[in-house]
Amino acid sequence: QVQLVESGGGLVQAGGSLSLSCAASVRTLLMGWFRQAPGKERDFIAAISLSGGNTWYADSVKGRTTISRDGAKNTVALQMNSLKPEDTAVYYCAGTSRYRAYLVRARSEYEYWGQGTQVTVSS
């Protein structure tokens, strides 16, 4: 019943930037972004609270990544600069009605998932 749809993926030159967006059919307390490269686990990237007042970032992207949210429109965005080939992955949007700050980086905390969008960073 709950739908999350990512958009904005594609081919990006190394050193460039990406902007992804996710539209959700329901308003959730937490929204997050994960990514999965071929042969790799699905890893946490960033998360944000409903108000946008609290954000969390993975160490691997901190400093060059911004997550933002429009609670009224049920959308969440991910902006990442200084892209590297290792950023190549399928990026997933996720949401949850729970709010447990100490577990926002865990896949198991998220009830709803988008279909994913491919991001390819060329060298």
Contacting residues for 34 by C-beta, under 8 A, at least 6 apart = 42, 43, 44, 45, 91, 92, 94, 107
How far is residue 88's CA from residue 81's CA, in Å, rounded to a whole number?
13
**How high is the pLDDT of residue 64?**
97
Which single residue is written with the structure tokens 């999965």?
36
Contacting residues for 103 by C-beta, under 8 A, at least 6 apart = 109
- The backbone torsions φ and ψ at residue 113, rounded to the nearest 5 degrees and listed phi first, read -135, 145
Task: Please give the mean pLDDT across all residues of the chain.
Answer: 95
pLDDT band at 22 (very low <50, low <70, confident <90, very high): very high
Query: Residue 55 pLDDT more than 80?
Result: yes
Q: In the chain, what percentage of residues exceed pLDDT 90? A: 86
Pairing of strands 10-13, 117-122: parallel
Alpha-carbon torsion (67, 113, 107, 98), positive or negative: positive
64-116 pLDDT, tens digit each: 999 999 878 889 999 999 999 999 999 999 999 988 889 999 999 999 999 99
Give 114's DSSP letter. Answer: -
